[in-house]
DNA sequence: ACCATAGCGAAAACCATTGTCAACAAGTTT
DNA sequence: AAACTTGTTGACAATGGTTTTCGCTATGGT
């Protein structure tokens, strides 16, 4: 169950589909459970640009009548991040946020208002390749690049 | 004491010097205290590439015989960040880290091993200007750009 | 269907950070 | 220099997100 033995990220295309997910998990000795399904469903259902915290996800599931514990939420989020299905965002808030990680597209980045906390997303292929270069230069294998810009938005100034 | 009334960041050159710091603080109605001096001293004494948590700083001061409370550490760190003297880093760890912010030089960036947590710094002027462009495009005033690359280092793979 | 064990969840523990408030001290006025 | 005003401190309690514990449950292989 060590992470070192898990498959590399580029095998996870379409992994939000139940069958593919099941196979991916089982290959590594993990089981596909109702709870893991539900959590991925919530993340799939989230609108583009939405960033969900563990508590957000838990609350959404409780609201739709599911019975699920917080421990399961945290455990599952970590698992999905390790599998490369999710991106964990350090937006300098007091909690972490999660979003689907789509290996097909260029990772996007975040512009955050330090005053009101609003988040705007943007894309820039150059940034990712800069990260890749630096990782290579230092002998690292790349997992994720996060470019986070802090400022003050129009309304707040 | 509102942040909106504080001087803009480019006035803080050499602010680690006692006199300049005193003037800077007093202009805004703040006071220069023994504790604020000590905390800045610790950060000044830190080696290049060192990232200190609030607890690190507190412990260093206790070790050198100072008597200082944790509340003061946190309060002071926030103040110094607001004044533009410090950079608060969200390295996706469970705590925040601080380093001196030198407005004369290009902000540097971080490559982190997700396995062992080791951090390597690197510089790239292009990245900061990309952040500046995006902030401008969205009508934000820029405060800080943090480019954080996650991967697995050589020893860990 | 059976079994071995990965996974679940309620509750407690953990731990970085923040709030409280009486005592203190920096800077200003007399 | 002493008095005064008010920003600042620090012991302690509280907060809140995340992790751990551990007996029970459900998944997947046989
Ligand atoms: Mn996003
Ligand atoms: Mn650094
Ligand atoms: Zn704003
Ligand atoms: Zn490492």
Residue B121 in contact with partner chain A when CB distance is under 8 A? no
Specify whether B63 is located in the same domain as B7. yes
Specify whether A37 is located in the same domain as A82. yes
Nucleotide C20's nearest residue (CA vs C1') is B71
* Average pLDDT value for chain B: 89
Q: What is the least distance, in Å, from the CA of A127 to any CA of chain B?
A: 7
**Boundary residue ending a domain (A89, A105, A121):** A105
Gap from B42 CA to C17 C1', in Å? 20
pLDDT digits (tens, 9 = 90+) for B8-61: 444 444 556 767 788 889 988 999 999 999 999 999 999 989 999 999 999 999
Residue B143 in contact with partner chain A when CB distance is under 8 A? yes
Residue A9 three-state SS: helix
Residue A111 in contact with partner chain B when CB distance is under 8 A? yes
Q: Which domain covers residue A42, as residue numbers?
A: 1-105
Number of domains chain A is built from = 2
Specify whether A70 is located in the same domain as A37. yes
- More confident of the two residues B148 and A12: B148
pLDDT digits (tens, 9 = 90+) for B89-147: 999 889 999 999 987 778 899 999 998 899 999 999 899 999 999 999 999 999 999 99
Specify whether A94 is located in the same domain as A137. no
Q: Which residue of B has its CA nearest to A91?
A: B90
With cut-offs at 50, 70 and 90, classify the pLDDT of residue B3: very low
Cα A119 to middle of ligand 3, angstroms: 9
pLDDT digits (tens, 9 = 90+) for A7-58: 444 444 455 676 778 888 888 899 999 999 999 999 999 998 999 999 999 9
pLDDT digits (tens, 9 = 90+) for A44-98: 999 989 999 999 999 999 999 999 999 999 999 999 999 999 999 999 899 999 9
Specify whether A128 is located in the same domain as A57. no
- Partner-chain residue, chosen from B90, B109, B111, that has the shortest CB–CB distance to A140: B111
Specify whether B8 is located in the same domain as B63. yes
The two tokens of residue A37 are 């399904």
Q: For chain A, give the longest Cα–Cα distance.
A: 52
Residues of A with Cβ-Cβ distance to B149 under 8 angstroms: 131, 134-135, 140, 142, 144-146
Specify whether B1 is located in the same domain as B76. yes
Q: Can you tell me the distance from the alpha carbon of B146 to that of B141, in angstroms, rounded to the nearest whole number?
A: 15
Residues of B with Cβ-Cβ distance to A152 under 8 angstroms: 140-141, 143
Specify whether B38 is located in the same domain as B74. yes
Cα B122 to middle of ligand 4, angstroms: 17
Specify whether A6 is located in the same domain as A47. yes
pLDDT digits (tens, 9 = 90+) for A138-147: 999 999 999 9
CATH classification of the domain holding B1: 1.10.10.10
Specify whether B124 is located in the same domain as B147. yes
User: What is the structure's pLDDT at A30?
Assistant: 96
CATH classification of the domain holding A157: 3.30.1490.190
Q: What is the least distance, in Å, from the CA of B144 to any CA of chain A?
A: 5
HEC string of A36-82 equals: HHHHHHHHHHCCCCCCECHHHHHHHHHHCCCCCCHHHHHHHHHHHHH
Hey, CA dihedral for A120, A124, A129, A134, is it positive or negative? negative
User: What is the structure's pLDDT at B14?
Assistant: 57
**Boundary residue ending a domain (A65, A82, A105):** A105
User: What is the structure's pLDDT at A131?
Assistant: 95
**Boundary residue ending a domain (B105, B123, B146):** B105
Specify whether B39 is located in the same domain as B86. yes
Specify whether B8 is located in the same domain as B72. yes
């Amino acid at each position: 169950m060590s992470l070192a033995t898990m498959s590399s990220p580029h095998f996870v295309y379409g992994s939000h589909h139940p069958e593919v997910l099941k196979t991916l998990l089982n290959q590594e000795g993990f089981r596909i459970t109702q709870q893991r399904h539900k959590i991925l469903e919530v993340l799939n259902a989230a609108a583009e640009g939405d960033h969900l915290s563990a508590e957000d996800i838990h609350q959404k599931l409780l609201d739709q009548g599911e019975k699920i514990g917080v421990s399961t939420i945290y455990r599952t989020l970590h698992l999905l991040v390790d599998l490369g299905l999710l991106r964990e965002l350090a937006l300098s808030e007091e909690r972490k946020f999660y979003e689907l990680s789509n290996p097909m597209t260029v990772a996007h980045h975040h512009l955050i208002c330090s005053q009101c906390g609003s988040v705007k997303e943007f894309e820039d292929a150059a940034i990712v390749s800069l990260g890749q270069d630096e990782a290579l230069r230092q002998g690292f294998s790349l997992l994720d690049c996060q470019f986070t810009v802090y400022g003050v938005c129009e309304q707040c100034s």
